[in-house]
Amino acid sequence: MKTETVNYQATDIELKGYIAYPDEEKAPLVLIAHTWAGKDDFVHERAEDLAALGYVGFAVDMYGNGKVGNNTEENQSLMAPLLSDRDVLKDRIISALHFGKSLPGVDPNKVAAIGYCLGGLVVLDLARSGENFQGVVSFHGLLMESNISEKGIQAKILVLHGERDPMVPLDMVDAFQKEMTKAAADWQLHSYGGTYHAFTKPGANDPNLGTQYNKSASERSWKSMQNFFEEIF
């Protein structure tokens, strides 16, 4: 496995990604969109886990220059501008997609994107953009609606959701499902019972935020992602 840090450009800002390459000469690409905390060790480790499975894992940067928040207040201030301007959000993740497809060793016809929390919203917005790639996986992602491109949704969608996630209440889940059905998307949603937000993050345990690591849901969701990749690739 080889890893490297790369710089790439969105319309408004320079971004700093982290890439882990498998031993194979040519492999599918998987973008990884970070939580509200920024491109931290958690997504770097997911890139390496994906490389171990035979994929090029590309941890993208949504904040610019690899910025990382150190507490709840900093995380919120970094995330808020992207939630208030989803066009900027889409531009940054589309820039990552195009850059990733051009990487040596990447099969540009086998591309997926996964995301955690904020990153779940990011990869769903990438699907909404109408870009041509194979699929997205949202892990405990935010499910707020957004504009869908006239091109429609080309990518298949897998949403992995904690049933007790207070950041994604049932009415948001229902609205998302109706949005996807209306868009004629190929979508599925797995809801893990008794499971809260951030269920894949070891150490997550904040009753005020409603975050709690769940080993069983984390392992099940990772396996569901692998099964999904076998289908789309």
What percent of the chain has a predicted confidence (pLDDT) above 90? 97
Round the CA-based radius of gyration of the chain to a whole number and report it.
16
Predicted pLDDT of residue 5: 97
Instruction: Report whether 39 contacts 16 (CB < 8 A).
Output: yes
Predicted pLDDT of residue 207: 87
Q: Which residues contact 62 (CB under 8 A, 6 or more apart)?
A: 15, 33, 34, 38, 39, 82, 89, 92, 93, 118, 119, 122
Angle between helices 86-101 and 72-84 (to 10 degrees): 90
Taking all residues of the chain, what is their mean pLDDT, rounded to a whole number? 97
- Domains in the chain, start-ordered, CATH in brackets? 2-232 (3.40.50.1820)
Question: pLDDT, tens digit, for every residue of 54-79?
Answer: 999 999 999 999 999 999 999 999 99
Local confidence pLDDT in tens for the 233 residues of the chain: 999 999 999 998 999 999 999 998 899 999 999 999 999 999 999 999 999 999 999 999 999 999 999 999 999 999 999 999 999 999 999 999 999 999 999 999 999 999 999 999 999 999 999 999 999 999 999 999 999 999 999 999 999 999 999 999 999 999 999 999 999 999 999 999 999 999 999 989 998 889 999 999 999 999 999 999 999 99
Q: Report how far residue 62's alpha carbon sits from residue 93's, in angstroms, rounded to the nearest whole number.
A: 7
What pTM was estimated for this model as a whole? 0.97
**131 class by beta-carbon count within 10 Å (0-12 exposed, 13-18 middle, 19+ buried):** buried
Predicted pLDDT of residue 68: 97
Predicted pLDDT of residue 139: 98
Q: 142: left (phi > 0), else alpha (psi -120 to 50), else beta?
A: beta
- Paired with 18 in beta bridges are 5, 59
